[in-house]
Each structure stands twice: as C-alpha cells, then as structure tokens.
Amino acid sequence: MAYFLGIDVGTSGTKTLLMDVRGKVLAAANGEHTVSTPHPAWSEQDPQQWWSATVKAVKAVIAKAGIDGRQIAGVGLSGQMHGLVLLGGDDKPLRPAIIWNDQRTAGEAAEIEKKAGGKAALIKMVGNVAMTSFTLTKLLWVRKHEPKVYERVRHMLLPKDYVRLRLTGEYAGDVSDMSGTLMLDQRKRDWSDQCLSLFGIDRSILPPVYESHEVTGKVTAEVARQLGLAVGTPVVGGAGDQPAGAVGNGIVTEGLVSATLGTSGVVFTHSKKYVTDPAGRVQTFCSAVAGEYCMFGCILAAGGSLQWFRNALGQHEVEQAAKAKIDPYELLTREAAKAPVGCEGLFFLPYLTGERTPYADPYARGCWIGMTARTSRRELVRSVMEGATFAMNDALTIFGQRGVRPRQVRLSGGGARSAFWRQLQADIYGTTCGTVRTEEGPAYGVAILAAVGAGAYKSVPEACSAIVKVTRQIKPDAKAKSAYQKFYKQYTRLYPALKGEFAAMRDWA
Ligand code: ADP
C-alpha cells in the first residue's frame, strides 16, 4: 500500500497528515512553533523552528499510523501564505521570517500602488491590490530599513518552501502560494518581468515556480535517514493554505464554492479562466489545478460576531450551557431559531474589526439598525447570525458579478457545526449547500496533490472526485430564500449609508 504525506506549516504549529491512496486518513500530528512580536504590530518567526516542528511531526505521524515511512510515495507541502524568508549564500536565514499578519508595511503597500500607476494598473499586472500581508511589501521594507541584510540576500522563499529546501535541497515555489507575493504574472504562471523591473527586484533571488501537483525535488539521503522516509521520495509543489484547503474541500471545478465560517469567514471559488475584480474586492490567485484559477474573499468577524455576542451579551446562555454541559452556541442558536426570517427589519453589520471583503475599510464598525419596541433577545442573536451570513454573501455576489456562479456551496468552520446556521446559509446564499469531511484542512489537500504528483491520479479534479465525498445536502427553503433576497438588498445599502459616520468615529477609540 502506498501512502501520502501532507505537511502544513501553519502559524502556531506544523501539522502532518498521512492518507492512503483512497484518501483515508491514517493519522495526524503536530509540532509547535512560536511567533515573536519585537515591536507592536510586527510578527516574526524563526524558519529553523518550522523545520524542527516538521521533523517532530513527520516522525510522530509515521509512528502513530504504525507504517514503515518508506511506504510513503509522495509528500505535499502547504503553509501560511505571504511570509518572507530571506537566505544568504549558505542557505541560512539572514533574519527572522516576516509573516503574513505583520502590519509594518502599510507605507510600502501604498508606495507599490502609487508606483504601479494605481489600483487598476496593479491588478492588471499581478491580479491583486497591495495589502500589508503580501510578500513584496515585506521585501521592500527590508531593502529600505535593513540594507545590509538585503545586500546579502541570495534566495527568497515562502514559509513552506523553506521546509522544501530542507527536505530536498531544492529552491522551488508553487503558483498558488507565489500568487500571494504580488510579483507573479498569473496569466504566465511565472514571475512578472514588468513587476520585477518596476521595483528593481533581482530575478535570481526568486525560485522556479511549479504547478501544485508537479514534482519539485526528492527527499535527500540525509533527511530520509533522519525522518525514516525512502531516499528520493518525490515532493510536489503543494499550495498555500487557502488553495490547499480548497483541494481538501473539492473546490477544483467551476460552480463549486466553499464558505468557511470560522472566527473569520473565507468564501472561495474556482474558475477555469483568469478573472480579477477590477475593484480588488476579492483576491484572485492561481489555483492548485494546473492552468486554472481561484478567487476568494475574507470576512473579518463572521463567526467572530456571534462569539462577540456570546461574550458580551450571552452570559445567560453561557451559565445555562455550563449546567447542561452543552455548548453555549447551541442555546444561542435555539434562541435565534425562534425569531422570524429577517427579524422584522433588524439588521446587524458585522464590521466589529473593520472589514476586508468587500469594503477594505479598517474604520468600519459593527452596529444594529432597525430596532423597535418589539425587538427581543431572539432577534438580537438571529440578526447577528444573519448579518455575518449577509457579509459572506457579499463575496458570493462579487463572484457572480465576475461571471462565476455557484452550483453548490460547501460549508465548513465552526458555523457549519450548527444545523440552524447551515440552513440559514442555504437560505441566504440561495443555493444548495453541502458539507464534506474537512477537519483535516490544508494538510489533507496537499496529500491529495502528492497522490496526483506520484501518478496515483491523472489530475487534481480526478483525485478530488474519487476522494472528497459530500456528506450532507441542504436545500434552501423557497419562502425564506425569497424573503432574504429582499433583506439582503437592504443590507447592502446600509454600509454605504454609514461609511462617512464610521470614518468620523476613527479617533474615538
Ligand atoms: P476558528 O476560526 O477560530 O478556528 P472555528 O472554525 O471553530 O474557529 O469557528 C468558531 C466560530 O464558529 C465561533 O465563533 C462561532 O461563531 C461558530 N460556532 C462554533 N460552534 C458553533 C455552534 N455549535 N453553533 C453555532 N456556531 C458555532
């Protein structure tokens, strides 16, 4: 029997997962790492820790599964996207990696947009607008603030690609992860000469870019001995954590969308064609399917809004739930289910921490609007869930405007644990929803990519249709769907009406 290993270099830890050729998960393991914050809003990690965590988690997953590591026929890599790893001539990190959530580069992001000739020109060049998370902003920061370090840079890699270097001795990246650098020409699926020359980036520091299922190198003899793998085990390109998670969810053909309703929400879709949003409200990346693309939007406080309600106003449910030994969210959703569809015109805007999709407005605020003397707790809690789901629906609406229409939305994240919230999503999205087994996340997606790279399947869509099974289908309720269409229309008018007021509140917190 051949097995496939997925390695996901996350922020708090590196997760490994072993699956067989039919996609059955044998075991998963974790190795932890730490984040350092040398200044407020900075976020850095030591790449050596990723490697130590990988060694620990690979050994642990093989032991847990009780297999011979030499039976592993392919390795896939996934990881936190955007992080900047800079290596000198000896392949040692020149400084800690500046990771995705580091916020020091607002100045560089603005400078990039200006130099590119504005938002639209930048989108035309690299598919996306400049955000502080994107790698180019970090590279320019190091050039400006640490010129001595920059002079010594010989290689730039993303986090998972540093682990690849340690595994195989090869410098390589994949198209999906590299789409998050702001330096990739997504149409060519290679570095953008225009971007590199505009910002004066030396191409020789950038690795070759592969499709996600392609073999990028083989496990070296020394590492094979250390980890108990076979010498020469192929390591495929892999994918950034979002596109890799999408493979695990089967979002690899047009018409499929995933809605992950966790603390934040991510709405993700697949597109055969290269489609960008001219306003930059959603991101476009190369997908893990060769030659194809994906788009996604991020809602900052999706499940986080309900969490806020639980913490701020749900003391009653928290106490009752503790007595009954159940989750307070269950009691809150029971309460919400008693309120009518649309809460008689009570709306909640879930912008508790500003908003990314579709408004990219750090000053947006959360609020209720439309209370009457009849409004009770049940409307308050239901409107929070409706508001968060309307916000997720904004991303779906943008996909539709770009010609990518959903046939099925696959639900995951904490919100999908609740039957009530699953049905609410089907009613608001107005589309059949489904769930698949997804607890494994990105590591599962890249184990599937490894199976394709090793030749067990002909393509990523073929592998996903064999492996990823829909476990539940939720159809929209016709009456609720039609009511929500009207409520959603009004919801979309509220932020534009309040935008100026939110901006005026800027100095009050
Ligand atoms: P994270 O995104 O932090 O990894 P989860 O994916 O578990 O976390 O999502 C957490 C969110 O999911 C919570 O804030 C809450 O809004 C929602 N949630 C979790 N469990 C339930 C439940 N049983 N019913 C309704 N919502 C839930």
Given the CA of residue 303, which atom of ligand 1 is nearest to it?
A: 16
pLDDT of residue 438: 66
Given the CA of residue 421, which atom of ligand 1 is nearest to it?
A: 25
Q: How far is residue 451 from each of residues 71, 106, 325, 464, measured CA to CA in Å?
A: 13, 40, 42, 11
To test the pocket of ligand 1, the residue of 417, 425, 439 to mutate (highest count of ligand atoms within 8 Å of its CB) is 417
pLDDT of residue 285: 98
Given the CA of residue 304, which atom of ligand 1 is nearest to it?
A: 14
Question: Could you tell me the distance, in angstroms and rounded to a whole number, from the CA of residue 377 to the centre of ligand 1?
Answer: 20
Could you tell me where in the chain the CATH 3.30.420.40 domains are found? 3-249+441-471, 303-436+477-504
Q: Whose CA is nearest to atom 4 of ligand 1?
A: 262
- pTM value is 0.94
Question: Could you tell me the distance, in angstroms and rounded to a whole number, from the CA of residue 262 to the centre of ligand 1?
Answer: 5
Given the CA of residue 413, which atom of ligand 1 is nearest to it?
A: 6
pLDDT of residue 208: 98
Q: Is 46 a catalytic residue?
A: no
Q: How many Cα neighbours within 13 Å face the side chain of 104?
A: 20
Distance in angstroms (rounded) separating the CA atoms of residues 220 and 197: 35
Structure tokens at 195: 């971007």
Instruction: Choose the catalytic residue: 174, 241, 277, 394.
Output: 241
Q: Please report, in tens digits, the pLDDT of each residue of the chain (509 residues total).
A: 899 999 999 999 999 999 999 999 999 999 999 999 999 889 999 999 999 999 999 999 999 999 999 999 999 999 999 999 999 999 999 999 999 999 999 999 999 999 999 999 999 999 999 999 999 999 999 999 999 999 999 999 999 999 999 999 999 999 999 999 999 999 999 999 999 999 999 999 999 999 999 999 999 999 999 999 999 999 999 999 999 999 999 999 999 999 999 999 999 999 999 999 999 999 999 999 999 999 999 999 999 999 999 999 999 999 999 999 999 999 999 999 999 999 999 999 999 999 999 999 989 999 999 999 999 999 999 999 999 999 999 999 999 999 988 999 999 999 999 999 999 999 999 999 999 976 778 999 999 999 999 999 999 999 999 999 999 999 999 999 999 999 999 999 999 999 999 999 988 87
Please determine, looking at this structure, whether the domain spanning 303-436+477-504 carries the CATH number 3.30.420.40: yes
Q: Whose CA is nearest to atom 12 of ligand 1?
A: 414
Exposure letters 42-79 (e unless 16+ CB within 10 A, then b): bbbbbbebbbebbbbbbbbbbeebebebebbbbbbbbb
To test the pocket of ligand 1, the residue of 300, 305, 329, 424 to mutate (highest count of ligand atoms within 8 Å of its CB) is 329
The answer to whether residues 7 and 51 touch, using CB atoms and an 8 Å cutoff, is no
Question: Could you tell me the distance, in angstroms and rounded to a whole number, from the CA of residue 240 to the centre of ligand 1?
Answer: 23
To test the pocket of ligand 1, the residue of 101, 299, 307 to mutate (highest count of ligand atoms within 8 Å of its CB) is 307
Question: Could you tell me the distance, in angstroms and rounded to a whole number, from the CA of residue 504 to the centre of ligand 1?
Answer: 32
pLDDT of residue 439: 73
* Alpha carbon distance, N-terminus to C-terminus of the chain: 59
Q: 3-249+441-471 falls under which CATH superfamily? A: ATPase, nucleotide binding domain (3.30.420.40)
Three-state SS at 360: coil
pLDDT of residue 507: 85
Question: Could you tell me the distance, in angstroms and rounded to a whole number, from the CA of residue 417 to the centre of ligand 1?
Answer: 8
Residue ranges of alpha helices (H) inside 202-327 are 221-227, 241-249, 303-313, 315-324
Three-state SS at 38: coil
The answer to whether residues 505 and 367 touch, using CB atoms and an 8 Å cutoff, is no
Given the CA of residue 305, which atom of ligand 1 is nearest to it?
A: 16
Question: Could you tell me the distance, in angstroms and rounded to a whole number, from the CA of residue 385 to the centre of ligand 1?
Answer: 12
To test the pocket of ligand 1, the residue of 263, 267, 412 to mutate (highest count of ligand atoms within 8 Å of its CB) is 263
- According to DSSP, the β-strands at 3-9 and 72-79 are parallel
pLDDT of residue 399: 96
Exposure letters 332-343 (e unless 16+ CB within 10 A, then b): bbebbbebebbb
Q: How far is residue 366 from each of residues 76, 275, 386, 409, 505, measured CA to CA in Å?
A: 40, 31, 13, 26, 12
Who lines ligand 1 at CB under 6 A? 262-263, 303-304, 306-307, 327, 329-330, 333, 413-415, 417-418, 421
Q: Whose CA is nearest to atom 13 of ligand 1?
A: 303
Question: Could you tell me the distance, in angstroms and rounded to a whole number, from the CA of residue 85 to the centre of ligand 1?
Answer: 32
